Amino acid sequence: MRQIVLDTETTGLEPEQGHRVVELACVEILNRRVTDRHLHLYLNPDRDSDPEALRVHGLTTEFLSGHPRFPEVARQLVDFVRDAEVIIHNAAFDVKFLNAELRRAGLPPFTELCGKVTDSLMVAREMFPGKRNNLDALCERFGISNAHRTLHGALLDSELLGEVWLAMTRGQDSLLGEASDEAVDAGAGAASAHGRFDASGLPVIQVAEQASQAHEAYLDGLDKAAGRPCLWRQIDRPVELEAHEAAG
C-alpha cells in the first residue's frame, strides 16, 4: 500500500487569476510507514506572491527566481505520485493549482496521474464534527509536536500531515494492529524469500497430565453450568458433540 502525502504553497488563492505554485512537497508512506523518500521542489512562478501569501510561506520572488519553472520538473511529480493514493489536506485547493500547472505543461489532470486523491480534511471533519480541523489543531489533538512550524512550508507540512494521517487512521487496516507491524514485515520478507511456510517440521510439545486433567475438570464445570458441552468442546471435539446431541 503506497500513499503520498502532498502539500503546496502558492502565490495566492486562485489559479484563474494567474496565481502559481511556488513550493511542492510529497512524502511517501509505504505499508503505513513513512519512508525516507520524498520530493521537494521550489518553483519560479514568474510573478510576485500576494502579501497575505508571502506572510504565510515567506518565499520571496528573489529566492524563487533561482529555481526551475514547473514544466521543467513536472515529470518528477508525475513519476513520484504514479498509481499511489495521494493524501492532501483541503485537497480541492491544491488539486486546482496542480491541474492549472499541469495544463500549462501539456499534461493530464492530477487525478489521472495518481491512483486516487483522499482529502484528509474531509476525513477529519467526519471524525471530529464541529471542531477545528486544520493541521495545527490536529497536531495538538494527536499529540504531534509542531513547535518548529513558524511558517507554512510544503515539506514540513507534508511530514506533519503524514504523522497526523497515521494517527487518524490507526487500527483501520487489519486485525493485526499497529503493534504487529514488525512481525508482518518479517513474515512478508520470509514468505517472498522462501515461499509458503511449512509447519510440519515443528516439534509437538505434549501437555503435562496434571495440566490436562485440570483443564478437563474446568471444562466439566462449564458443561454443567451450561447444560451442554461448552464452546471449547464444540470446536475441539465436534464428533463427540454430535454423539452427545444425538443421545440427548
Annotated catalytic residues are 152
Report which DSSP code applies to 43. -
Asked whether the beta carbons of 121 and 91 are under 8 A apart, the reply is yes
How far CA 220 is from CA of 68, 228, 234, in Å, comes to 78, 10, 13
Residue 240 marked as a ligand binder:
no
Q: For residue 209, give the C-alpha cell.
A: 497430565
Residue 57 marked as a ligand binder:
yes
Residue 50 marked as a ligand binder:
no
Parallel, antiparallel or unpaired: strands 2-10 and 21-30: antiparallel
Asked whether the beta carbons of 139 and 160 are under 8 A apart, the reply is yes
According to the 3-state scheme, what is the secondary structure of 134-201? Answer: CHHHHHHHCCCCCCCCCCCCHHHHHHHHHHHHHHHCCCCCCCCCHHHHHHHHHHHHHHHHHCCCCCCC
Residue 83 marked as a ligand binder:
no
Residue 52 marked as a ligand binder:
yes
240 phi/psi in degrees, rounded to 5: -65, -35
Write the CB contacts of 44 (distance below 8 Å, at least 6 apart in sequence): 64, 65, 66, 67, 68, 69
The helix (H) or strand (E) run that includes residue 47 is: none
DSSP string, 7-40: EEEESSS-GGGT--EEEEEEEEEETTEEEEEEEE
Q: Which residues belong to the annotated binding site for substrate? A: 7, 9, 52, 57, 157
Q: Which residues belong to the annotated binding site? A: 7, 9, 52, 57, 157
